[in-house]
């Protein structure tokens, strides 16, 4: 059974940094593309970033240059390093696994429970 | 990348059908068959209902069906049940390693 468990969320001031983690089990992390998807309070879903099997990383325009996605195969853990945080980055951040092992984004059948990031002074 | 357009709300009585539209562009919905639909209950993570326009993951009832015509995709929920009351989001691969979600539709079972 695929399980994704996020951690690392919390309250941070504007301009601050935070690193989210996603512990993956039930599959080999490096065999699938992985993404982060966020949802601001009362709002819709927004794709944030993805890392493909080969390690290529991609970002939404809204976070490019401020967020970095990475993974540690030995720990089977996905990360999202977030810097220069803004009030508008406040959201629940979900770790998701791609349906296919293609090097494009197809669909997300597996989601974590989410971790809340609040950016506020 | 702009969000795909969905109606804010839709409703139907138990047993009826409701169809939700998802309008994109020739760069996302119209260009790829990687269109998906998700159901989200309050306080829960989204659940994949349909992928690749019309495919259902195992365990998803066949009451949920998807289709696409041009730049618009649709999700039909047949035989509405009380537990179908939720938010629904479409999504699509948008090229250049981008992925876009819809604005979301709140389905109410009357």
Return the SS3 of B82.
helix
A17-61 pLDDT per residue, tens = 999 999 999 999 989 999 999 999 999 999 999 999 989 999 999
Check if B2 contacts A (Cβ < 8 Å).
no
Give the per-residue pLDDT at A103. 83
Residue among B42, B50, B43, B40 at smallest CA distance from B104: B40
Give the per-residue pLDDT at A101. 81
Residue among A93, A115, A119, A104 at smallest CA distance from A33: A104
Look at A99-108, B15-24, B36-45 and tell me which has the smallest mean pLDDT: A99-108
Give the per-residue pLDDT at A104. 85
Partners of A72 in the β-ladder: A77
Backbone phi and psi for residue B12, each to the nearest 5 degrees, phi listed first: -170, 160
Which of A2, A41, A44 best probes binding to B when mutated, by most B CB atoms within 10 angstroms? A44
Q: Do B102 and A44 touch (CB under 8 A)?
A: yes
Q: Which residues of A touch B48 (CB under 8 A)?
A: 99, 107-109
Look at residue B1 and tell me whether its pLDDT is greater than 90.
no
Q: Which residues of A touch B88 (CB under 8 A)?
A: none
Q: Do B48 and A35 touch (CB under 8 A)?
A: no
């Amino acid at each position: 059974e695929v399980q994704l468990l996020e951690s690392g969320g919390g309250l941070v001031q504007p301009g601050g940094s935070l690193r989210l983690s996603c512990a993956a089990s039930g599959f080999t992390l490096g065999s699938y593309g992985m993404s982060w998807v966020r949802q601001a309070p009362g709002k819709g879903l927004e794709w944030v970033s993805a890392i493909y099997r080969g390690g290529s990383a991609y970002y939404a325009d809204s976070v490019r240059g401020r967020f970095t996605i990475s993974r540690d195969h030995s720990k089977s853990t996905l990360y999202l390093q977030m810097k220069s945080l803004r009030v508008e980055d406040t959201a629940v951040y979900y770790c998701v696994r791609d349906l296919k092992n293609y090097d494009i984004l197809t669909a997300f059948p597996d989601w974590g429970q989410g971790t809340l990031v609040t950016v506020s002074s | 990348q702009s969000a795909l357009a969905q109606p804010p709300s839709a409703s139907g009585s138990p047993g009826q059908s409701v169809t939700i539209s998802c309008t994109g562009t020739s760069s996302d919905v119209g260009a790829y068959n990687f269109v998906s639909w998700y159901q989200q209950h309050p306080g829960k993570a989204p659940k994949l209902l349909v992928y690749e326009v019309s495919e259902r993951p195992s365990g998803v009832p066949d009451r949920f069906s998807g289709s696409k015509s041009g730049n618009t995709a649709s999700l039909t929920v047949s035989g509405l049940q009380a537990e179908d009351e939720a938010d629904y989001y479409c999504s699509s691969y948008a090229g250049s390693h981008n992925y876009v979600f819809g604005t979301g539709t709140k389905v109410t079972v009357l």
